[in-house]
Amino acid sequence: MYGTSARILRVNLTSSEIQVQTLSEDFYRLYPGGKALAGYFLLTEMPAHVDPFAPENLLVFACGLLTGAPVSTATRYIVSARSPLTGAYGESEAGGFWGPELKMAGYEAILVTGRAPQPVYLWIHDDQVEIRPAEHLWGRTTADVQQAIRSELGDERIRVLQTGIAGENRVRFAGITNDLRHFNGRNGMGAVMGSKNLRAIAVRGSQRYQSLAYDAQALLALGRSLAKRVREHPASWDLQQRGTPGLVEALNAGGILPTRNFRQGAFENVDEVKWEAYEKQLLTARRSCYACAVRCKREVTIDGKMSPYGGPEYESVGAFGPNLGISDLRAIAKANELCNAYMLDSISTGATIAFAMECFEHGLIGPEDTGGIELRFGNAEAMLALIEMIARREGIGDVLAEGSARAAEQIGGDARYFAMHVKGQELAMHEPRGKYNVGIGYAISEIGADHLVVTHDPTMVNPESATFKSVRPLGITVPQPAMTFSAEKMKHFFILESWNSLEKVIGYCFFGPVPRAFIEVDEVLESIRAASGWELSAAEALQIGERAINMARVFNLREGFSRRDDTLPERLFQSLENGLLEGQVMSRQEFEQALSILYELKGWDVQTGMPTRERLEALSLGWAADLAGIA
């Protein structure tokens, strides 16, 4: 076998038992890491309806086939479990250095079960694996914990993955960080860590990916070629120069910058939060993930000193800025820093605060509920206070720590109309009324609202653009407007969803392969060949991604989800109040028709959303059909 050690680490925190399992090549061809590996183990080793905070919830950390390869953007790993936020299949990806380090230590994945009787952390140094006490780390910020672990183990180059105070307190949208700057933010995976009394996993490895590769020289040559192209490709060059915060101004101009809890599409004070203001007020340097030439990470100063947590990405700027009606960029950066110190998902945190502000302005909650805080749009002090309260589950923060969907049930009345979520997970800062595929992606995603299900529509509208031409090898030949639900558009969705899922299986970042960025289809296939020796066609690669999607879908069916859950908040079928798309309405009828077309393309039952046995067997998933009782 090539491209993998084929070893997974099993840790039972209840019994302190540690085992290493070796996978066969036949197995690995079907589930070559990441989303596919996690989906397989969640389905086969955990029964339905396990409470997300129960010791029996399986927590999976899985590298992709290419994680740690000397190729730009091949850095990603997945954390997966049953989500405490949605009750569905849970998943969150991150880049950085921890995933490559785990691969270098000789493991493809870690499977964690049970609950430690006292707080612990895991220390992995090649074949040396220990469960170590962590009572002294409990209740401390992520920066403190990282430094304490490195000092305790005597190595500043140890890579530390951890949850934080929010995870300890089981905030349902608590996240995970590695190296303080890279985040598995979504779906509450940090809360699952906290429920297991697992504060951190520290890793140090001694081998290099090249020792695993089928053709190391070809992989190195591809990596060098792609590193040069980063400086020439407009998308990757823009990410290098401005990072994701550069999106703010363009989305505002297009009328699709979520503002005041998705009521509006444009922010009147956008000049105060756009890239030029960010660069002037905050930026100090640019950083990267392992072996990546894109360098999209921002370093910033906050309160007059360099933040150990890096700077806010677009999602954090959007969630704490326009979506809360706040234009104080330094307060936005501080909000992001607090989330990273306590380890809260910045998207769900900002969106849940927006929900609370709208409830306050409609009189559903008042000062007597908030401890006297005036929860009004534009109030930066209220935002910062709420972040602290949510992380520690204090006062109204205890209600909001449940997420906006559960909080709406507690508040009652019309509160449910102000909770912008799908399946319990809050929407990311992308407006579906101007990008219809994003809306379908939010609805159909197995993890709840997720903006990385499919390539965003504007990328695919111009037949002469490099982005559109780049996906012709995948079978996309007819451009489609951003705001259409045509059958051809659903064909695009079906293909690109599988392509994006493939990235989550093999370990590529969304900012690597086409159409979003600079790695062409044939180069993705070449990287797989050079790593593993597998000669894959584009169709076979897409099937790997489709297989992973279907396993997650079967997981959700076992948990009681169906087509009725593939929907959007009512607000998204109403018109925007301002901006370029003011008055624009997305038709619910056309949305439902498009969903039916997509189900047919996927081989799913149009009424229930259940994959057919025929499609599952074609994907070598007959065993999953048996588990789910699909006739």
What is 432-628's CATH number?
1.10.599.10
| Alpha carbons 421 and 450: distance in angstroms, whole number | 10
Evaluate if residue 584 carries a pLDDT over 90. Answer: no
Q: What are 143-153's pLDDT values in tens digits? A: 999 999 999 99
pLDDT of 396 above 90: yes
Q: Is the dihedral of CA 248, 252, 257, 262 positive or negative?
A: positive
DSSP, res 178: E
DSSP for 87-107 reads SSEEEEEE-SSHHHHHHHTT-
SS3 of 59, please?
A: strand
Q: Would the pLDDT of 402 be above 90? A: yes
pLDDT digits (tens, 9 = 90+) for 107-137: 999 999 999 999 999 999 999 999 999 999 9
- Give the pLDDT of residue 233: 87
pLDDT for 122 equals 98
> Residue 296: is its pLDDT beyond 90?
yes
Mean pLDDT of 580-596: 96
The per-residue pLDDT for 232 is 86
Contact assessment for residue 217 and residue 113, using Cβ atoms and an 8 Å cutoff: no
Dmax over CA atoms of the chain, in Å, equals: 66
- Overall CATH class of domain 7-211: alpha beta
CATH of domain 243-426: 1.10.569.10
Q: What is the pLDDT of residues 229-284, one digit of tens each?
A: 998 888 888 899 999 999 999 999 999 999 999 999 999 999 999 999 999 999 99
Residues 58-70 pLDDT 10s:
999 999 999 999 9
Distance CA 216, CA 211 (A): 8
pLDDT of residue 237: 86
Question: At residue 352, what is the residue type?
Answer: T
Distance CA 548, CA 33 (A): 10
Q: How confident is the model at residue 520 (pLDDT cuts 50, 70, 90)?
A: very high
The mean pLDDT of 213-230, rounded to a whole number, is: 96
Q: What is the pLDDT of residue 234?
A: 85
pLDDT of residue 231: 83
- Say if CB 163 and CB 190 are below 8 A apart: yes
Each residue of 554-572: pLDDT tens digit? 999 999 999 999 999 999 9
- Take residue 346 and report the two structure tokens written for it: 């910045």
Ordered by start, the domain boundaries in the chain are: 7-211, 243-426, 432-628
Residue 276 three-state SS: helix
pLDDT of residue 366 exceeding 90, the answer is yes
Tokens at 588, concatenated: 């619910």
- Per-residue pLDDT, 163: 98
385 is written with which tokens? 């206070």
Residue given tokens 């809260």 in the structure block: 344
What is the overall mean pLDDT for the chain?
Answer: 97
Is-cis flag, bond preceding 515, omega within 30?
A: yes
Whole-model pTM: value is: 0.98
Spell out the SS3 assignment of 412-475: CHHHHHHCCEECCEECCCCCHHHCHHHHHHHHHCCCCCCCCCCCCHHHHCCCCCHHHHHCHHHC
Share of residues in the chain with pLDDT > 70 (%): 100
> 416-448: per-residue pLDDT in tens?
999 999 999 999 999 999 999 999 999 999 999
Supply the pLDDT for residue 8. 98
Q: What is the pLDDT of residues 233-245, one digit of tens each?
A: 888 888 999 999 9
